[in-house]
Chain A
Amino acid sequence: MTGQITATQLSKTFRKNQAVRGVSFDIAPGEIYGLIGPDGAGKTTTIRMLAGVMDPTRGTARVNGLDTTRQAEQLRAHVGYMAQKFSLYGDLSVRENIEFYADIFGVRGKARAERIARLLKFARLDQFQDRDAGVLSGGMKKKLGLACAFIHRPRVLFLDEPTNGVDPISRREFWDILSDLHIEGVTIFISTAYLDEAERCSRVGLMYRGEIIREGTPIALRQLVQGDLLAIITPDLQIAENVAQKLPGIFEVQVYGDRLHVFVDAGATRAREIEIALVAAGATIKQIRPAAPHLQEAFISLISHL
């Protein structure tokens, strides 16, 4: 394997609980790899093992060519890690927080001031550098966390649910910063519960109950959904939902605002059948058309068929 991040059969057992069950990765330099999955799937444990913060029970991992267990010390200089419960010093200013991490990572001399200035600009925090970190908004705190994790210019960044609880506009800004890092060639390994964010990754791994159940580009994953998705726009949602659920060849019916999403085994034939049944039940149909499933639906459909 020649990847920036490689792992073979990585496992972690806590007492009797097998949190991670033999996961393997081969992530190329410069990729943004997204790890998605429900709570308790093992995402955090996986990231901590890859970042060299926790030793695996079994299996090995190499990051930047360094073994994450035996060469964990050397690895520190080459990876940045932003933990989920990453916390800043609320009584220090933005700049002081970054300076603190610069000291920890031994960033000294002439490079230091220049790098801090650049990082502040990069994280779009330069106007707020004298503000106490404690009074920053959620989105700004995350950006500061990212800046601190990147102070030593690592080639690999591990980010554990960095955008949790952050509003869409701040999330988009955070991802724009990640894109900038990506362009500079930094390899990013990120976990998230926002499936729309997974669409911004180069590759995505779906993690469930300690295993990677699917892996691929966002586009490829969306196509993994069993059968076809039909969108039915109708004012009589309640009737439509009840009727559609009982028809043959239907996997799942979801109410979506002003429309119904129906997963079927074969789009063309089932569309016709549904239309007939709905009309017979007295529902008005404004439109019935095939739709592209979101990653969200792909994900839920995948794990409900396990």
Chain B
Amino acid sequence: MHKTILNLAWKETLQLLRDRLLLAFMVIIPVVQLGLIAEATGAGIRNIKLAVWDQDKSAFSRDLVTALKNSGDFNLMYYAQSYDEIRALVNDGKVGAAVIIPPDFSRELARTGASATLPVIIDGTNSIVASSLLGAVESAIADLTRQFVPANAIITPIDLKIEFAFNATLNIRWSTIVTQLGFITYQLVLVVAAVGFVRERELGTLEQLAVTPISRLELLLGKGLMALGIGMLNYTLLYLAIRYGFEIPMRGNLALLMALGVLFTIAEIGVGTLLSIVTHSQQQAILMVFMLAMLEVTFSGYLVPTENMPWFMQTIANFSPLQHFSAILRAVYIKGSSLEMLWHHVIPLAALTGITVGAGWYLFNRAEW
């Protein structure tokens, strides 16, 4: 059986090497995409989960918290009681930002007129959240300070001491680039898997395969193996480009990054195979990939953080392998999260992998040659 599967995978590889367009798709487009999208930033962030540790406990600090809450940008989730608690909330991704109001904050502000220090911790792995929060905190405090000083006085902004939790320099390209690792692999694997069967059906070779002793399982595994190989090759090359080309430090475990990459690739092979079975032409299959990719990119938190979406969209996002994998990538690569910290994404991803592969296999068995 393994010889038959290798025979199929080898044939696919030969065909791939002859397909200049697909090769270009694998090599050139990812690099261009990486470079271009790396520069892109987003805006319009709302509902960032916020934790506050109010040590001041004054009327002013209360007003500040209320102002942040009412700004519409934040969703005050936790009222923390210690620095450790704040760190843990940020580390676990429970909140996207935390504001620490030091003791005597209001008194200091009143004394100096404008230069109290306000430490803010932001989960820098999501650069869009980071830059947005920074702006929101600044404007909220500026509004509040105006009430303390005469209207005609010169307003000096509060000196915000910002602490970025992980992404120390707030290089806003980082998380975008790392997310690209998942997104480009996603596109490639989906396209390769989606045309896999439908191309042979169009050519008439699928019928020819049907009359050979090759079983359906072997056919599926042979094609899957080749898609997995291409996907992982692409994933590794992109990783190397990000790590050494873009010089983004990898904080997590490489083996974990690779293993979860395999899991994600298999999930997408399952999705692609499903598309390949239900469509009637390559053109149709590619169109479906395109539509699916637009949807998944929306839900993946790539453009807008998932936590900022309405509840129904968040529910749908849970069914996107790309959403889970994007979160995993950012966590492992930039935060250095371990598997234990990622179960809430790994388990859904594994479940989705099982569902797509299972459904692909089921439909493929029922499909006419």
- A contacts B: CB pair < 8 Å: no
Residues on A lying within 8 angstroms of B by beta carbon are: none
Residues on B lying within 8 angstroms of A by beta carbon are: none
